[in-house]
Amino acid sequence: MPKHFATLDGIKRAATKLKRASGVSHNAALEQVARDAGFADYHAATIRFATPKTPRQRRQYPVTIYEFWSDRERGERGNESRTFMIDKPLSDLVKPHQLSGYLGGCSLASGNEIIGYGRSHSLEQARFEICRIARTLQFMAATGLKPSRGGRCYPKGSWDNRPPGADHDQGWYHPKTRSFVLSEEPYPGRFTSNAENRRAWAKRHGRKTVRIRWGGIYGHGTEFYLTGQVKGGVNVSALARRLAALAPAYTEADWPGADLPNTGTRPQPIVAPPASAHEAALAPVEYIEMSPELAAALKHQRDLDIAEAGPQAPEPSIDHRGVRVESRYSIAHELETMSAAVDAMPDLVRARLESIWCDSKACAFYTVEVKPGRWIEGIEHLIRDAVRAVTDGFNGLIVRDGEHEVWFDPEWEGDDYDCSAEA
């Protein structure tokens, strides 16, 4: 029967005793004790007992964006503005000669202010344009890409080599690799309908396309793709991973002081069926009495599992910003991580959540419950992005309500996955 250790230090102490008793080397003792504990080797034990990292705190910088608007039909006009927190200073992100693409027509004011192109025809459009500029800065800060004016993002620098089905495409330059990247934001279905032609185009020109699971820049419900050179270019899969871990894209839906948009759905009360009907639907349950020995063994194993998971919190669950946060064993660091994930979610998403739960036995396996009737398209990806933003990854993630259930496979920082498989 394998020996049980609550911590990695326990394995180290046992290895020291074995070394003194048998005279074997310290490394050999570590390997032997780890195998006796049921691990493949000592390295596997170190991974199992690794201390979860504290959620990373990004340093962010304020950027204020202004946009003038004029509504001729209403006879109104004004100058709207909003301050956003960006992961890099504005002066490091863009220079005056780089104001093109989504930043075309903008101008830089002081060190942390940018003025939009000023042609919005309503207050609503001004807010949309301000958020699009903010999303552009988010994207640039995460990827290190700069707007490119020319057509170097296309094979041989020619518009004639534009990929099949491209829509809302923009060119970007990556200074570190001195290569160019093409971003595309087609409406849903357009990329898939051109998939066969795209594969032939990519093979012919040595290009790789990955889908980005982030809010995108253009808006209007489009999908988001990045294309780069296979040889000599920036690793677009690595850029996709950075964007996947990025905080949700800024939108006008959570504009400060503005009401949340009416989605047309309202939470429906859950009505329990009559007791008699409920009981009639249940099959008879057979109760088997557990022996004292088995009960004691199961309790001992549970105590070991809790000890291995880490210190417990004073309370089994907490209410964090209106969301119930709990874990199987009430582990303190798990509650802290899930609370940080709740903080990373946009207000529009957070208001729709019932609870988030972590399975302490599976380690970093989360289940998020959405309130009845509050599911919106894409909410699962916004939740997944928030979890990735505050952790190094997860062993599993389930997002569900009474009518939907979406599973995400394990994702960890450094995993080499190709987002094109998600297209």
Which residues pair with residue 181 across a beta bridge?
A: 172
Local confidence pLDDT in tens for the 423 residues of the chain: 567 777 788 888 888 888 888 888 888 888 888 888 877 778 777 777 765 555 555 688 999 999 999 988 888 889 999 999 999 999 999 999 899 889 988 999 877 899 998 888 999 999 999 999 999 999 999 999 999 877 889 998 888 899 999 999 999 999 999 999 999 999 998 988 998 999 999 999 999 999 988 889 998 889 999 999 998 889 998 898 888 888 889 998 878 765 433 333 323 333 333 444 333 343 444 444 556 666 666 666 666 655 665 677 777 678 899 999 988 878 888 999 999 999 999 998 999 999 999 888 777 889 999 998 899 988 999 999 999 999 888 888 999 998 888 988 888 776 544 444 443
Q: Are strands 323-327 and 353-358 parallel, antiparallel or unpaired?
A: parallel
Which residues pair with residue 325 across a beta bridge?
A: 318, 356
DSSP string, 148-159: --SSTTSGGG-G
Q: What sign does the dihedral 307-313-318-323 (CA atoms) show?
A: negative
Collapse the DSSP code of 210 into the 3-class scheme (helix H, G, I; strand E, B; otherwise coil) and give the result.
Answer: strand
Which residues pair with residue 108 across a beta bridge?
A: 114
Collapse the DSSP code of 300 into the 3-class scheme (helix H, G, I; strand E, B; otherwise coil) and give the result.
Answer: helix
Q: What sign does the dihedral 116-122-127-133 (CA atoms) show?
A: negative
Radius of gyration from C-alpha coordinates of the chain: 27
pTM greater than 0.75 (yes/no): no
What's the CA gap between 416 and 23, in Å, rounded?
42
Main-chain phi, psi angles of 240, to 5 degrees: -65, -40
What's the CA gap between 351 and 263, in Å, rounded?
13
Main-chain phi, psi angles of 61, to 5 degrees: -130, 135
